Structure 1
Amino acid sequence: MRLTPLSFAILCSSGLPALAHAAVDLPGLQVTASKRETSLAETDMALSVAEHEDLQRANIDNSKELNRVFPELFLSQSGLSLFPNLSLRGISSADAYSAPVAFYVDGVPYVLGAFNQQLLDIERIELLKGPQGTLYGRNAHAGALSIVTRRPENAAQLKVGSRVSNLDREVSASVSGALLEDRLLAEAAVFHNDLQGELKGSPQHGDGDNGGGRVGLTLLPNDDLSVRLVYARDRLTSHEERYLPFHGYASRAVNPGWRESSFTRRVETGSAVIDWSLGDAWKLTSTSALQNYRHERLLGDFGLYHPERQRTLSQELRLTTQGEQRTWDANLGLYWQDSKTHSQRRAAPGGPYDALLGLADSRIDSTEKAVFGEFTWHIDEHWDLTLGARHSREEASTRFVQQDGLMVPGFAYRGQDRFNATTPKIVLGFQASDDVRLYALASEGYKPGGFNRIGSSIADAVAYDPERSLNLETGVKASLLERRLFANASLYWMRIKDVQQYVGMVGIQNLQNMGDARSEGAELSLDWLPDEDTRLHLAGTLNRSRLVDADVRQGNRLALAPRGTLRLSAERSLRWDGLLGELRPSVGLSYVGQHYFDADNQLAQGGYTLFDARLTWQPAASYQVALYGNNLTAKDYRSYAYLSGADAFAQAGSGRELGVDLSLRF
């Protein structure tokens, strides 16, 4: 008999004796999606949460793999890890520098180029679905992703881990504890990862090297004040950027005569988070951050060199209520961000365009100021009403110079513009019973306007407009079957105005506003604990998004917006006499529906299903070893594609991965 992953899951969950009548409550998880600590079940928004154990169960150690726990978040990349694409609720972004999903780590906004990063000492990850313009501002017009790292405690902890597979070889270590008990806590984490490529006919095979770390201090002068200082940096080098024929991508065979592509990315982030309790009712939070991002990219096929630097300085100040049994709660804040970007494009020495292309030099500066607030009135024990709004003002300027070349005549321009956005929110929550909560909301979000990084003509001195979204949503959260089943479902309708899309041939494209779009859909998540040893999870989405008011491409589906997604997973803890510790087999299935890579709907990827599995042996609480596999059936699928003239090119998604994972904790 052939044992499929799904039949294996059923066997694990039903083939051994279980505590059939045990009542196991799902944990009352506390989240900070509303920038106040609330329980997951009482947070009036569509919200998915993955804790450290969920990431481990799905074999996730990098943020680019998060779609295995968040099927509603479609992740891909525009050719390489520098340019990730995030799509949520049918809203994606053609602009590789500005995602529709805001990205935060411990409350600090990160640039999109730093999205693909190693996940070190993670406590939980929160995915906020739908526009979050009130509290999260720019780029949160489809949602927000918030990574929360584990905070140090008095007790000393040391963790060492290693993963070895046919696709990567990773080592990591972290340590934390008290330097002065209850007053000064320290933390540190480091990692190194050798990435094994899958390309054929290439000297480097698409290999890469990734390493970095994080150090931090938490000062606790008294019970009311905490100061957390964190510095993180990483360096990623890769040769992954090679493009394959659209219909022959599965062979992963590249033209050996083409020049090798490569890039190096460096990210440094320093932050200071101050929490100050002002009595029992209020808390003041200050989040300050400086992020330096840079990359050097050699596009070998074309002999082009693209260096880029971006410095982002941000400051948020929030005053929030705290405590229970209140008749109202509030969240008031100020936000400021300054960003400076310097980009270049030039021909690499010895390349086909050497001496044919002149140097292109671009500088873009932007400054954002915002004031925001949310007020929640707890009308009675059943009803809650939340009103919120944010007003943002952004000033942007550009300076661009294209030097003369044999193929490109020189030109130069300067431009500046100002963008204002007000993003309101209204939510009505109803506690129907102790175990069922309903909500309805309307919210808005936006992606700021701006200037093209590398201009193609003096017309790029004129900024493109912001992209705005309106979201109407209703949802339910329920604990059923004696609190052993947690259900989370939502329906939404969205209008997107002034959709930003690239126009023109690859290499000389510019970003423009194309018209309006609509997106509607449904989301469902079920977590079931039949007994204390079994966990089953199901999550899925249905979506329909298309252009509805556009000069061209009327009725086209939005790019990178699958019609549907699905995630099924199961885990079983096994124990018997003579077994040291316990075994935990787990399996997962991920389905991604059909989607297009381009606004013209010419390049499509059909729906596909990927299987993953893990077998963990934990002899003691302090250590465990696991065998794991991803894409077990070696399914071929495209992760990215584009048209260049009459030719189409693609990149292949990750193939089968088999490995072993060792973790020690002291």
Structure 2
Amino acid sequence: MRNLSTSKAALLVGAGLVSFAAQATAQADDTIQLAPLSVTATKLELPKEKSTTALQVISAQELLDAGVTKMTDLDRIVPGLMINKQSNNAYTSFSMRGVFSADYYNPSVVVYVDGVAQDQNFSDRVLMNVERIEVLRGPQGSLYGKNAHGGVINIITKAPNNDVAGQVKTRYSSLERSLEAGVSTPLIKDTLYASLTARGFSGGGEADNSATGEKEVDDKRSRHLSTQFRFAPKDGPFDATLGYQHDREHFEDVFYNESGWKEKITTSTIGDRGDRTSDALSLNANYNFGEFKLTSVTGYQKRDMNRILMRRQNEDQEVISQELRLSYKPTDGALSGLVGVYSDQTDYERDAVSFFSGNAYMTEVTQSSFAVFGEGVFDVTDRLALSAGGRYSKDKSDFDFIENGGLTLNRDESWTTFTPKVGGTYKWTDQFNQYVTINRGYKPGGFNRTATNTAAEVPYDPEYSWNYETGLRSDLFGGKLKLDASAYYIDIKDMQLYRGVGGQQILRNVGDSTSMGLEFNAVAHPLQNLEVMAGLGLNRSELETSNNLDGNKTPYTPKVKANLGIQYYLETQSLPGTFIPRVDVNYYGKSHLDVDNNYSQSAYTLVDLRLGYEWNNLNFALFAQNVFDKDYKVYQSGASYIQVGDGRNVGLELSYAF
């Protein structure tokens, strides 16, 4: 009955799109033009045309229109990016331009929220109170405190101010139910402000267990609370924001075999369920000295996870970080830049029972990092700008392991490196700007935190890369078309990937690899009230090793990835407000799911429909995601360790802002 009802609902959404399109009457006199882009992702607050990084800025409205509600949805609108859960909801992997982040604990792509690098265990977070998201591709070590080998996803939330504002939002669908509310208000006008956001979520799940007779065994629940206090006297040089966030999640995941994954039927007695709690504090302070700006970002995050995967797999982690940077941006001068220092320490503890021996064991890892970084931009002419930067990093890892009746290990290793960057931009015309950049990427080495054999004693080495890129940015037809295009080549040394079957995987340096590709991203208004968003990523990445992996494709990196979104703004005579029908089509080429290339996911296409309605502060939408209920894998490690993406999800969304 569940499949029949959702099919009917999907047809209703599609019929609604056609119906309201037919009722269109009055249209705006002028074609909508794209608003100028505000960019702070480079930390220098320079115009986008002076950035030597492939950069995509996504506004809160764009996220709403595309139905992107959580981090794992983001790859639907960002070319070259793949985000998948790996094994369970606790671990999320990123692949950006063939730089695949297999290590859950030290990802290549770093997620920031309001300047603080986030605990990697929360990369599947829900996007709430977001002002915009900035996606930077390639190494970002010369601008960001925490080392980022593959790229940065920078999330900026809405800061409280003198306006009293709030929102209530609910979402009800075949796969999820959620309720979210937030308020922002001044406590002392022109001086002190505060905001509060709360959210509850539950998901029914899709998997049935034929062995036990249980239905929808992969359900999940979560709750979230966050608050901000901002001290920013009007026209004063100083501002500071203190933030607190609490998350609690219960999840249950299942594994399928080759015969049951398409039907979402499992016979496995191996379930994966857990509870995860986290608390985070942050303090972001700025002081302006005219053309100079001093910024301090302090972060503290604590996470506890109690998990059962056949046996006990509990983890606790605390991270404290500090970034201090000084930027220089003259009102009338050719040179601008920034310098900074960064340090963090991670204390990790794992209390578990071995898959190999059945013995209890304890793993303790202490990681520390220190870095000095900086970048400068020099305007040679009004058209040509050159930039140079670099990063000196020192990383250390202390590893202690005790197994009852088994191994006792104690090791420590440290690594130091310098990663330079050079680049330039040239403004060919008022509509065309080109950038070129060469930089070195680095990902530190470490120890396996989950292995209970002698392989865990041997650390894996750092991963390095040289990145070569050029790109073209254009603003055409009076702001009606914005097009970004880039070409890149990445040479990676000592790539870190997992080998082995689920529960017995070891993270190792598997050899070298190369990745090359093209990316295109466009936003256009070709007709009155018609908006088109399109992205295309073409990639060829493979391993170059001296063993049996030579020529294998990098996991979770499709050769072709494309997205197309079309939406129309309709005004009718029968009702006030604006109807916004939208269709999104996402194509994913074939990708491999393991380093040995034994398992793969063939090419597939996902289609989403959405019918939105906006009137004053009210927003309402009917939506159908994965309309044709396409089956696809998101993870596989062995014939009986398969996990899949969400099926058809049909529902409604309602929000009111004040």
TM range (shorter): over 0.9
Out of 647-656 and 9-18, give the one that drifted further: 9-18
Q: Distance in 1 between matches of 2:481 and 2:642?
A: 42
Match of 1:541 among 537, 541, 545: 537
Match of 1:258 among 269, 294, 314: 269
Q: In the alignment, which residue of structure 2 is the partner of 1:153?
A: 161
Q: CA deviation at 1:21?
A: 7.8
Q: CA deviation at 1:655?
A: 0.4
Give the partner amino acid of 2:342. Y
Out of 537-546 and 425-434, give the one that drifted further: 425-434
What are the superposed Cα offsets for residues 249-293 of structure 1, whole Å, 9 maximum, x if unpaired?
1111122x7265311111211000001001x20100000000111
SS of structure 2 residue aligned to 1:178: strand
The 5-angstrom pairing of residues 27-426 of structure 1 reads 27-136=35-144, 140-201=148-209, 202=214, 205-221=217-233, 223-239=236-252, 241-255=253-267, 258=269, 260-278=271-289, 280-299=290-309, 303-322=310-329, 324-346=331-353, 357-404=358-405, 410-426=406-422
Give the partner amino acid of 1:655. G
Distance 1:569 1:421, change over 3 A: same
Give the partner amino acid of 2:374. G
The 5-angstrom pairing of residues 507-656 of structure 1 reads 507-531=503-527, 533-618=529-614, 620-643=615-638, 647-656=639-648
Note if 1:475 corresponds to 2:483.
no
SS of structure 2 residue aligned to 1:288: strand
Q: In the alignment, which residue of structure 1 is the partner of 2:6?
A: none
Give the partner amino acid of 2:313. H
Q: Residue 133 of structure 1 contacts residue 443 of structure 1 at CA under 8 Å; is this kept in 2?
A: no
Q: CA deviation at 1:456?
A: 2.9
Q: In the alignment, which residue of structure 2 is the partner of 1:407?
A: none
Instruction: Calculate the TM-score normalised by the size of structure 2.
Output: 0.94
Instruction: Calculate the TM-score normalised by the size of structure 1.
Output: 0.93
SS of structure 2 residue aligned to 1:38: coil
Give the partner amino acid of 1:340. D
Q: Residue 613 of structure 1 contacts residue 630 of structure 1 at CA under 8 Å; is this kept in 2?
A: yes
Q: Distance in 1 between matches of 2:284 and 2:242?
A: 7
Q: In the alignment, which residue of structure 1 is the partner of 2:4?
A: none
Q: CA deviation at 1:18?
A: 8.3
Out of 507-516 and 303-312, give the one that drifted further: 507-516
What are the superposed Cα offsets for residues 603-646 of structure 1, whole Å, 9 maximum, x if unpaired?
0100110011111122x321121111100111111111111xxx
Give the partner amino acid of 1:435. Q
Q: CA deviation at 1:345?
A: 1.4
Give the partner amino acid of 2:610. R
What are the superposed Cα offsets for residues 74-118 of structure 1, whole Å, 9 maximum, x if unpaired?
111112111111101011122222222111111101121111112
What are the superposed Cα offsets for residues 198-237 of structure 1, whole Å, 9 maximum, x if unpaired?
0113355211101111011000246110010000111110
What are the superposed Cα offsets for residues 537-588 of structure 1, whole Å, 9 maximum, x if unpaired?
1001000000113433001001111111011001111113232111111110
Q: Moved runs in structure 1, 4+ residues, more than 4 A?
A: 2-21
Distance 1:89 1:8, change over 3 A: farther
Distance 1:542 1:259, change over 3 A: closer
SS of structure 2 residue aligned to 1:583: strand
What are the superposed Cα offsets for residues 34-68 of structure 1, whole Å, 9 maximum, x if unpaired?
11223334433211121111111121221121122
Q: Residue 436 of structure 1 contacts residue 479 of structure 1 at CA under 8 Å; is this kept in 2?
A: yes
Q: Residue 491 of structure 1 contacts residue 521 of structure 1 at CA under 8 Å; is this kept in 2?
A: yes
SS of structure 2 residue aligned to 1:636: coil
Out of 65-74 and 192-201, give the one that drifted further: 65-74
What are the superposed Cα offsets for residues 300-358 of structure 1, whole Å, 9 maximum, x if unpaired?
xxx211000111000000101235443110111000101110012127xxxxx89x621
SS of structure 2 residue aligned to 1:261: strand
Distance 1:476 1:37, change over 3 A: same
Q: Residue 89 of structure 1 contacts residue 519 of structure 1 at CA under 8 Å; is this kept in 2?
A: yes
Out of 52-61 and 555-564, give the one that drifted further: 52-61
Q: Distance in 2 between matches of 1:661 and 1:8?
A: 15
Match of 2:649 among 650, 657, 661: 657
Q: Distance in 1 between matches of 2:467 and 2:162?
A: 44
Q: Residue 55 of structure 1 contacts residue 69 of structure 1 at CA under 8 Å; is this kept in 2?
A: no
User: CA-atom RMSD, angstroms?
Assistant: 2.3
Q: Residue 182 of structure 2 contacts residue 196 of structure 2 at CA under 8 Å; is this kept in 1?
A: yes
Q: Distance in 2 between matches of 1:12 and 1:466?
A: 56
Q: CA deviation at 1:73?
A: 1.2
Q: CA deviation at 1:16?
A: 5.5
Q: CA deviation at 1:10?
A: 11
Q: Distance in 2 between matches of 1:106 and 1:246?
A: 42
Give the partner amino acid of 1:286. S
Distance 1:6 1:656, change over 3 A: closer
Q: Distance in 1 between matches of 2:330 and 2:168?
A: 38
Q: Distance in 1 between matches of 2:368 and 2:611?
A: 50
Q: CA deviation at 1:506?
A: 3.2
Give the partner amino acid of 1:519. S
Q: Residue 225 of structure 1 contacts residue 276 of structure 1 at CA under 8 Å; is this kept in 2?
A: yes
Out of 483-492 and 111-120, give the one that drifted further: 111-120
Q: In the alignment, which residue of structure 2 is the partner of 1:22?
A: 30
Give the partner amino acid of 1:622. N
How many residues align structurally? 644
Q: Residue 160 of structure 1 contacts residue 173 of structure 1 at CA under 8 Å; is this kept in 2?
A: yes
SS of structure 1 residue aligned to 2:378: strand
Match of 1:432 among 404, 428, 431: 428
Q: Distance in 2 between matches of 1:15 and 1:524?
A: 34
What are the superposed Cα offsets for residues 383-440 of structure 1, whole Å, 9 maximum, x if unpaired?
0001000101011110001112xxxxx1101001111121111111001111211011
Distance 1:71 1:7, change over 3 A: farther
Distance 1:497 1:17, change over 3 A: farther
Unaligned runs of 5+ in 1: 348-352, 405-409
Distance 1:660 1:456, change over 3 A: same
Give the partner amino acid of 1:250. K
Q: Distance in 2 between matches of 1:662 and 1:453?
A: 43
Q: Distance in 2 between matches of 1:259 and 1:541?
A: 37
SS of structure 2 residue aligned to 1:67: helix
SS of structure 2 residue aligned to 1:53: helix
SS of structure 1 residue aligned to 2:254: coil
Q: CA deviation at 1:469?
A: 1.4
Give the fraction of aligned pairs with identical amino acids, expressed as a percent: 30
Q: CA deviation at 1:138?
A: 5.2
Q: Residue 101 of structure 2 contacts residue 109 of structure 2 at CA under 8 Å; is this kept in 1?
A: no
